[in-house]
Structure 1
Amino acid sequence: MRLSILDQAPISTNQTPQEALQESMMLAQAGETLGYKRYWIAEHHDLPGLACSAPEVMLGYIGANTKKIRIGSGAVLLPHYKPYKVAEVYNMLATLFPGRIDIGIGRAPGGSAEATDALSDNFLQQVWNMPNSVQDLLYFLDNDIPPEHSHAKVSASPVPKESPMPWLLGTSKKSGLLAAEKGLSYVFGQFMSDQDGSAIIKQYRDHFKPRKQIDTPQVIVTVIAVCAETSEKAEEIALSSLVWGLQRKRGEGQKGVPSILEAKEYLRNERIDLHEEKKQGMIIGNPEQVKESLLELQIRYTADEIMIVTITHSPLDRIQSYKLIAEEFGLKPNDHREP
């Protein structure tokens, strides 16, 4: 089974944003060494504890410090931007790093209403216009604009020898159908959804329309996982992420991902039992347990690939989690340039 990494660039309570972004680069390097197929970094705006507002900037940095692993956005929040500019940026990256660039496309705001207003005009209108924006982006990425199109004489320079590989991210039947209609590979964000992902993915596969660049449906399922040598240690390490998620739901957590000690103190002071919180789709355990859960997920969703999000307070714990999973699956470094 193919495994990949989705990085939200979390900032721990003992880190600066610069240190968090440096750790993201080091995670991409580790992922390449360990045999993960791709490394994607997410886009967020003015969300405390998350460092990456511009994946395209980080991808230039990460691409220059890695050699083979595929790299991309998870996701470009398309309603904020003109498709032409997005195509220019990712064509530029694909020119610099041939055969390695993915462009994940999403339609979430990625931040507060205030940040959305500051970033773009008519966001909701652009959400409704998403199918047209996706189609325009594909025209520019494919360098194949119909002559009747208003931008028929424009190309998204530089035009790379191998175009970025587009994926559509979503958590709903609507997103799955859009991906199928446009002939796009699809990423289902299981870690963000309470929907029946298996039904959404089946619908995507059933309605998929091949396009020149992709003739068969491809599915990635994204999940949160924390792995350690023992299940007890994994449970302890996962406290940081679980408590931080709870804090953010309460409008707290501005200082970033708490340490294990800070998380325990918070639970003690607030008299909170995280038993129910742990059931929210998060995989926690030793390597054997995590592998079993990921394989079950793959079968349930008929996934071609699993993309793992891991948030810990310690960067070493995060890399170790990915390392243990890679070793349990027997991943080996290879040339990841094929889509």
Structure 2
Amino acid sequence: MKLSILDQSPVRKGGTARQAILETVELVKLAEKLGYTRFWVSEHHNTGSLAGSTPEVLIAHLAGETEKIRLGSGGIMLPNHSALKMAENFRMLETLFPGRIDLGLGRAPGTDRYTASLLNPSNTFSEHDFTQQLVDLTHYLNDTAPNGPNQKKIRAIPIAETVPDLWMLSSSGQSGVFAAHFGMAFSFAHFINPNGGPHMVKMYKEHFQASENRKQPEANFAIFVMVADTEEKAEQLQAVMDVQMLRIERGVREGILPYEDIKDYKFSEDELERVQFNRQRMVAGTPEKVKAKLEDLAKNYGVDEIMAVTITHDFADRIRSYELLAEMFELGK
């Protein structure tokens, strides 16, 4: 089983965005040492709880701090950007760090629609425009874009010898079909939506069409994972996420709370229903318990790679969770 990490640079209550980013830097070094396959960073906007807003900038720094682990976006929200500019950003990364860059693409805005409209005023949020962006991006990365006005050749600079590994990210809808059609790899965000993922991966594999850059389908899924040395500690980490998920659903985008702040929280009946649903998006427990659940999920998905998303108030808890996860799957051996 391959393990990877999706890190969102979470900001804790009382913490700072700089602190969160520096923790991401420390975490990627640990991930490489422990034997994780890839390390992705996300794109979120207009929120105080996640510091990751520009994956393309952060990836460059993280790649410079490591030697071999794959670095990528989980993901670039393509409708927020120009396809040409994203092609140039990731061609530059691929030129600097050949063979190590993943370009993970998403369709969701990573924020509210108003903020998304400010990021890209021409964003129509339409499936047609997203499809065209994928067509354009693929052309730019492979130097096959048609000529522009006056027969001027449009190229993404710098011209790179290799192409970033293209991934489509999804939590719903038809993105798996997009990935299959364009010959991309596919990652399902189970940590966002716990329903339908295995079916979407199956459909992706069945409809996959080989592309210039990928001949065989490849898929993984991302899930919240919290591993601790004791069941009591794991329950505390899960309780923090229970409350954090409720806060997000109410539109609260503030820092991650410590367990002490939520330990006496009384859930209403409606909140308890949401907690039960949201717990399908995560796996928490001691190593043996977590390993069994993850292996079952991987079997259902039909994949050999799991991407872990771990958010805790205390960075030491996050580090320990990834250490235990690596130990239980014997990474690097």
**TM-score bracket for the superposition, by shorter chain length:** over 0.9
Answering whether residue 27 of structure 2 is matched by residue 2 of structure 1, we say no
For 2:251 and 2:147, how far apart are their aligned partners in 1? 50
Q: Name 2:116's counterpart in structure 1.
A: 116
Instruction: Decide whether the 8 Å contact of 1:145 with 1:151 is kept in 2.
Output: no
How big is each residue's C-alpha offset from its partner over 1:116-170, in whole Å with a ceiling of 9 and x where there is no partner?
1221124234543111111111111122335699987122111222211110111
CA RMSD of aligned residues (A): 2.2
How big is each residue's C-alpha offset from its partner over 1:155-192, in whole Å with a ceiling of 9 and x where there is no partner?
21112222111101112351111111111111111111
Q: Name 1:337's counterpart in structure 2.
A: none
For 1:121 and 1:181, how far apart are their aligned partners in 2? 28
For 2:100 and 2:111, how far apart are their aligned partners in 1? 28
**How many residues matched?**
331
* Structure 1: tracts of 5 or more residues without a match: 334-339
Instruction: Decide whether the 8 Å contact of 2:228 with 2:285 is kept in 1.
Output: yes
How big is each residue's C-alpha offset from its partner over 1:205-262, in whole Å with a ceiling of 9 and x where there is no partner?
11110012111100011111100112221111222222111122223352x1001101
Q: 1:284 to 1:119 in 2, by over 3 A?
A: same
For 1:194 and 1:295, how far apart are their aligned partners in 2? 16
Instruction: Decide whether the 8 Å contact of 2:5 with 2:307 is kept in 1.
Output: yes
Q: TM-score of the superposition, structure 1-length normalised?
A: 0.92
Cα displacement (A) at 1:55: 0.8
For 1:118 and 1:212, how far apart are their aligned partners in 2? 34
Identity %: 37
SS in structure 2 at match of 1:224: strand
Q: 1:152 to 1:304 in 2, by over 3 A?
A: farther
Q: Name 1:23's counterpart in structure 2.
A: 23
Q: Write out the 4+ residue segments of structure 1 that deviate beyond 4 Å after TM superposition.
A: 146-152, 268-275
Q: 1:325 to 1:269 in 2, by over 3 A?
A: closer
For 2:268 and 2:263, how far apart are their aligned partners in 1? 10
For 2:125 and 2:117, how far apart are their aligned partners in 1? 13
Paired AA for residue 264 in structure 1: K
Q: Name 1:217's counterpart in structure 2.
A: 217
For 1:166 and 1:84, how far apart are their aligned partners in 2? 15
Q: Name 1:235's counterpart in structure 2.
A: 235
How big is each residue's C-alpha offset from its partner over 1:272-294, in whole Å with a ceiling of 9 and x where there is no partner?
75862563321001111111111
Instruction: Decide whether the 8 Å contact of 1:103 with 1:165 is kept in 2.
Output: yes
Q: Name 1:260's counterpart in structure 2.
A: 259
Cα displacement (A) at 1:9: 1.2
For 2:100 and 2:140, how far apart are their aligned partners in 1? 18
Q: 1:239 to 1:134 in 2, by over 3 A?
A: same
Q: Name 1:332's counterpart in structure 2.
A: 332
SS in structure 2 at match of 1:195: coil
For 2:52 and 2:163, how far apart are their aligned partners in 1? 24
Cα displacement (A) at 1:96: 1.2
For 1:149 and 1:279, how far apart are their aligned partners in 2? 53
